[in-house]
Amino acid sequence: MPTWKSNVRATYTSGGFSASLNWSRIGQVTDQALADRATGIEPKVGDEHYFDLGLRYDTKAGFEIFGGVQNLTNNEAPSILTGFTSANSDLTTYDGIGRAYFIGAKMKF
């Protein structure tokens, strides 16, 4: 497990429009399966960075439309040989899907 994880979100709003960019950072980890106790070598898996973009437009008439992209840069989960799953990565910590899009609407009446 990484020692440090962080999230930073920036949002711009003007009238009924808003745009939001989220940056998630997952700190480095040591791959214990490759660690050599005799030599003290501990292979590291570097920091991972994910960016998500969301857009939203809310009309005065009670109609809202939204959409966005998760994992904007299509960053792949790192290979960790202690593999928690057959994916050889920790998919509870890292994004195993890749870039994903979403869109939706809401109506208030």
Separation of alpha carbons 9 and 50, rounded Å: 12
Residue bearing the bigger pLDDT, 44 or 15: 15
Q: What is the mean pLDDT of the chain?
A: 85
Q: What percent of the chain has pLDDT over 90?
A: 49
Pairing of β 44-45 and β 29-30: antiparallel
Residue 19 has pLDDT above 90, yes or no: yes
pLDDT at residue 78, rounded to an integer: 81
pLDDT above 90: residue 30? no
pLDDT of residue 96: 84
Strand order in the sheet with 63-70: 5-14, 17-26, 48-58, 63-70, 100-107
- The sign of the torsion formed by the CA atoms of 26, 32, 34, 35 equals positive
Instruction: Name beta bridge partners: 49.
Output: 25
Its pTM surpasses 0.75: yes
Q: What is the pLDDT of residue 77?
A: 83
pLDDT at 38 over 80: no
Q: Is the pLDDT of residue 54 over 80?
A: yes
